[in-house]
Amino acid sequence: MDSSMRLELTRPVMALSRGSCLPEAPHGAHLNGCVPLSHQVAGHKYGIDKVGILQHPDGTVLKQLQPPPRGPREMHFYSMVCAEDSGDPCLVELRAHLPKYYGTMSSPDVPTELYLKLEDVTRCFSRPCIMDVKIGQRSYDPFASQEKREQQVRKYPLMEEIGFLVLGMRVYKVGSDSFDTYDQHYGRGLVKDTIKDGLSKFFYNGKILRKDAITASILKVQKILQWFEGQSRFHFYASSLLFVYEGICASSAASQTLQEPTTTPGACEQNNNIHQTVYSMHTRSCVKSHNKTNQDNGLWSSSQQPNGNCSLARLEENPKETRSQDGQDVEVKMIDFAHVFPSDVSDHGYIYGLKNLLEVLHQILEE
């Protein structure tokens, strides 16, 4: 990325102050320092792929649009679901399961490069454990070429039978105050007999199985299932659920000597700065590394006129408060809508995947 890249604000944006979940006063100033999303667990990555996901200093993430038709399709989906004036109950209910959408951004230097500006689902967690699970019995859409279909089936032949695929995860280990990360090869290595144990690793913090996080996740997935059972307007292919839970829990906090309280104002910016161990079923590699916060001092500001219509004022919401009221430090959000299509029947493939995922989560809980 060009570190001298500069984008102009065309409309004041409520900027989130770093290290705080509360909004700053609105201003039209430049915002510095977009960096590759350091806690990304799957998908296209900056520096590796042509497009990727960035972290904006205001606490949002920027997802670069894929080339057409995928990128524009995802943008239109967010715009439609998050249209402020839409009172359509189906869309209003769905909106609650998506990251908040703040419109698009583009660079004056490269105006053709568009970014979706999204809520960072992990942003107010202190030690976010994150898992990306692709849902559905098919990873390819009805318009995919034969070659694409075969490629997708080859990648995970069990998709049809299992109905979901772990694309990546990072799991907090209380003993070492570090994260273990698992890449896409790990998930592809899971078969019917090992899927339960494979998935349960996401909830194991090195000392205990986080049954509280499993229970809360089940409740959230059930809500999403409810929405799917009531709609027959959309089909989702190769779309994911992003699971996030707080790595620091009451029992782990007692058994370690972490200095920070679990909800320090600085949590939003410090949640990536600790050691991690990387696992891949495929390579069985185990690499210790530091997860650097790549402080790019290049100037980035916003924005093209947000066109997604989710109110920017939503940045004012304080998700931490909402979570603590629930008593649950867990989020489950639907992401990745590059292959969503209109339909007039239920999305049986997605529903099958959700039900099987719920079944496996229940099995882990019963251990």
Ligand X SMILES: Nc1ncnc2c1ncn2[C@@H]1O[C@H](COP(=O)(O)OP(=O)(O)OP(=O)(O)O)[C@@H](O)[C@H]1O
Minimal CB distance residue for ligand X: 43
Query: 53: which strand partners?
Result: 63
Nearer to ligand X, 27 or 292 (CB): 292
- Return the sign of the alpha-carbon dihedral for residues 228, 231, 232, 238: negative
Q: Identify what 63 binds: Mg ion, ligand X, none; CB under 5 to 8 Å per kind.
A: ligand X
CB atoms within 10 A of CB 60: 27
Which window, 6-14, 36-44, 285-293, 356-364, contacts ligand X (CB under 6 A)? 36-44
Q: Report which secondary-structure segment, H or E, holds 349.
A: helix 348-365
- Find out whether 41 and 132 touch, Cβ atoms under 8 Å: yes
For position 63 contacting ligand X by CB under 6 A, the verdict is: yes
Nearer to Mg ion by Cβ, of 267 and 357: the residue is 357
Shortest spacing between CB 240 and Mg ion, in angstroms = 5
Mask 25-64, x = binds Mg ion (CB under 5 A)?
------------------x---------------------
Residue 207 CB, shortest distance to ligand X, in Å, is 25
Q: How far apart are CA 247 and CA 186, in angstroms?
A: 21
Q: 206-265: which residues touch ligand X (CB under 6 A)? A: 240, 242
How does DSSP assign 102-150, residue by residue? EEEEE-SSSTT-EEEEEE-TTTT-SSEEEEEEEESS-SS-TT--HHHHH
Show contacts with Mg ion in window 303-342 (CB under 5 A).
336
Nearer to ligand X, 216 or 338 (CB): 338
348-365 vs 211-229: helix axis angle to the nearest 10?
A: 160
Residues in the interface with ligand X (CB under 6 A) total 26
Q: How far apart are CA 172 and CA 215, in angstroms?
A: 18
Site for ligand X in 102-141 (CB under 6 A): 118-122, 130, 132
- In terms of Cα–Cα distance, which of 60, 51, 64 is closest to 31? 60
Binding residues for ligand X (CB under 6 A): 37, 40-44, 53, 61, 63, 66, 70, 74, 99, 118-122, 130, 132, 168, 240, 242, 335-336, 338
Binding residues for Mg ion (CB under 5 A): 43, 336
